[in-house]
Amino acid sequence: MKIRKGDRVQVLSGKDRGKTGTVTRSLPERGKVIVDGVNIAKKHQKPTSQTNTGGIIDKEMPIPASNVAIICNSCGKPTRIGYRFEPDGTKVRVCRKCEGDLA
């Protein structure tokens, strides 16, 4: 999967289309990512101890990785990800639009 934790992404489809956020967790075995502030669900939580209170909490749910596009650092637009090999042999992710590094 090309999207990693810490990437800034924009949602391409679904109820949160157009929202941007940072990937807080990547789930490559399921092909999904969890984005901060996107795909919020209400969860009914039971109190587990005296310090933990119960109630309805907001939880960020996974979204398919194909429904998000990474935002390029240099051109600032959502783009696809490509790869380039540096002369020293390292593999670097690059923007498909401007060929800038995505770091």
Give the Cα separation of 60 and 49 in Å (integer): 23
For 90, phi then psi, to 5°, come to -80, 150
Residue whose C-alpha is closest to residue 68's, from 6, 19, 25, 102: 19
3-class secondary-structure state, position 7? coil
pLDDT tens, 71-82? 998 888 999 999
pLDDT tens, 12-25? 999 999 999 999 99
pLDDT tens, 29-62? 999 999 999 999 999 988 887 777 888 999 999 9
- What domains can be seen in the chain, in order of their start residue? 1-71 (2.30.30.30), 73-103 (no CATH)
Please answer whether residues 35 and 14 qualify as being in contact, where contact means their C-beta atoms are separated by less than 8 angstroms: no
